[in-house]
């Protein structure tokens, strides 16, 4: 399989503003979910207090290029963000969703359960039915260092590739995060499993907080999972544990720059290295890609929004092409929709 057979000649990976984007299908649907009943859905007269709502469902926005040239990608955003993180970058360049679409990959971007367009089950508790679920927002002063834009707010790293002038758009993209209110595995995990089964050979691409989810999905069942790509995962399976679930599964972990100076991220990169070694010792096909070790300096935690997001996307796409993940292929990109 050559992934880029369908790429228009002479068009760089990231570009396309002047080249039309031709889709076979696009739209959205939901996956997963469970019903809950409450007598505290509403305290306003216009809506009844008692009734049934669904929670834990996962919103999926998808697009399938007219000429499919790669396996379907499932994009799972990280902390405090929604699937918007993969769309237009803060400074207005095409997001990874469009970049991969233009390269021939069907793209399925989710909102984690209880996030964004995947409705949160907040109303019952807010109206007196049970304790309020834990929710937090990341302040920009905190996110600045968590996302490794710079050593301290508002000072950027001199070589940062994050589009700092447009960082206000990143702050606007942040949403309340109910991560700590949800069970383990996060309801997003079974939804990813179900989505992969429906797609029949998907590459699960995660970022940060969501990093562990695709691994948990693969541990539950490998059906429909062709490969895993984890951008700076916040957590990974225990390298000392049973890693037989990952035998022969292509796994790519990507890390950006300025990690050693980060008390938050340095141990996570060390964990990633240990996981890769242990997974491969157990028959895995795991690879750690440190961008600075390849001579690419200045990437923040927001690899898909940095000014070289096209370069990182191309590296990931090339890895998928090299790995030719078992079970994946152009034919796997079936457009799906409805319930």
**Segment 165 to 194, residues that bind a copy of itself, using CB under 8 A:** 166, 168-169, 171-176, 180
Task: Pick out residues in 94-113 that bind a copy of itself (CB under 8 A).
Answer: 94-95, 98, 111
Nearer to a copy of itself, 41 or 303 (CB): 41
Which span sits near a copy of itself by CB under 8 A: 6-14, 132-140, 248-256, 317-325?
132-140
Residue 51 sits in the site that holds a copy of itself (CB under 8 A)? yes
Distance (Å, whole) CA 275 – CA 253: 10
> Which among 172, 163, 141, 158 has a CA at the least distance from the CA of 89?
163
> Which among 313, 318, 276, 302 has a CA at the least distance from the CA of 150?
302
Distance of CA 149 to the CA centre of its chain: 19
Which of 78, 104, 119, 233 binds a copy of itself (CB under 8 A)? It is 119
Which of 92, 130, 241, 283 binds a copy of itself (CB under 8 A)? It is 92
Task: Pick out residues in 207-236 that bind a copy of itself (CB under 8 A).
Answer: none
CB of 187 to a copy of itself, least distance (A): 12
Residue 151 sits in the site that holds a copy of itself (CB under 8 A)? no
Angle at 97 between CA 225 and CA 229, to 5 degrees: 35
Nearer to a copy of itself, 26 or 280 (CB): 26
Distance (Å, whole) CA 300 – CA 145: 10
DSSP code string of 160-205? --S-GGGHHHHHHT---B-GGGS-SS-THHHHHHHHHHHHTSEEEE
DSSP code string of 295-334? T-----S-TTTSTTHHHHHHHHHHHHHHH--TT--GGG--
Residue 11 sits in the site that holds a copy of itself (CB under 8 A)? no
CB of 130 to a copy of itself, least distance (A): 13
Nearer to a copy of itself, 51 or 151 (CB): 51
CA-CA-CA-CA torsion for 193, 132, 48, 33, nearest 10 degrees? 0
User: For a copy of itself, how many residues bind (rule: CB under 8 A)?
Assistant: 77
Tokens of 295: 């001579």
Which of 3, 74, 87, 245 binds a copy of itself (CB under 8 A)? It is 87
Nearer to a copy of itself, 119 or 201 (CB): 119
- Whether residue 197 contacts residue 67, with contact meaning beta carbons closer than 8 Å, is answered with no
Distance (Å, whole) CA 252 – CA 284: 11
Residue 66 sits in the site that holds a copy of itself (CB under 8 A)? yes
- Whether residue 41 contacts residue 127, with contact meaning beta carbons closer than 8 Å, is answered with yes
Which of 4, 6, 7, 135 binds a copy of itself (CB under 8 A)? It is 135
CB of 101 to a copy of itself, least distance (A): 9
Tokens of 316: 């990931």
Which span sits near a copy of itself by CB under 8 A: 59-67, 183-191, 307-315, 325-333?
59-67
Residue 140 sits in the site that holds a copy of itself (CB under 8 A)? yes
CB of 325 to a copy of itself, least distance (A): 27
Which of 4, 7, 33, 262 binds a copy of itself (CB under 8 A)? It is 33
């Amino acid at each position: 399989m050559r992934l880029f057979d369908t790429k228009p000649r002479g068009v760089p990976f990231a570009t396309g503003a002047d080249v039309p984007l031709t889709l076979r299908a696009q739209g959205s649907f939901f996956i997963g979910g469970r019903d809950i009943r409450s007598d505290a859905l509403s305290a306003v007269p216009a809506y009844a207090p008692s009734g049934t709502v669904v929670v834990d469902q996962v919103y999926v926005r998808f697009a399938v290029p007219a000429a499919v040239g790669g396996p379907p990608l499932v994009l799972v955003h990280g902390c405090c963000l929604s699937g918007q993180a993969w769309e237009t970058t803060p400074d207005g360049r095409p997001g990874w969703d469009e970049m991969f679409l233009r390269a021939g990959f069907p793209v399925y971007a989710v909102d984690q359960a209880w996030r964004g367009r995947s409705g949160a089950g907040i109303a019952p508790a807010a109206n007196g039915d049970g304790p309020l679920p834990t929710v937090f927002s990341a302040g920009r002063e905190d996110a600045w260092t968590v996302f490794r834009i710079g050593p301290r707010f508002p000072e950027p790293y001199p070589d940062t590739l994050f589009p700092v002038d447009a960082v206000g758009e990143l702050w606007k993209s942040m949403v309340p995060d109910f991560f700590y209110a949800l069970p383990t595995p996060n309801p997003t995990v079974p939804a990813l499993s179900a989505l992969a089964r429906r797609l029949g050979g998907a590459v699960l691409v995660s970022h940060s907080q969501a990093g562990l989810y695709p691994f948990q999905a693969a541990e539950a069942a490998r059906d429909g999972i062709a490969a895993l790509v984890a951008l700076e995962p916040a957590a990974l399976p225990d390298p000392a544990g049973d890693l037989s679930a990952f035998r022969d599964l292509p796994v790519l972990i990507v890390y950006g720059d300025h990690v050693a100076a980060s008390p938050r991220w340095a141990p996570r990169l060390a964990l990633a290295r240990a996981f890769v070694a242990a997974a491969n010792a157990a028959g895995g096909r795991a690879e750690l890609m440190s961008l600075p070790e390849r001579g690419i300096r200045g990437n923040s935690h927001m690899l898909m929004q940095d000014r070289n997001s096209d370069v990182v996307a191309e590296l990931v796409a090339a890895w998928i092409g090299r790995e030719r993940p078992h079970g994946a292929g152009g034919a796997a990109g079936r457009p799906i929709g409805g319930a």
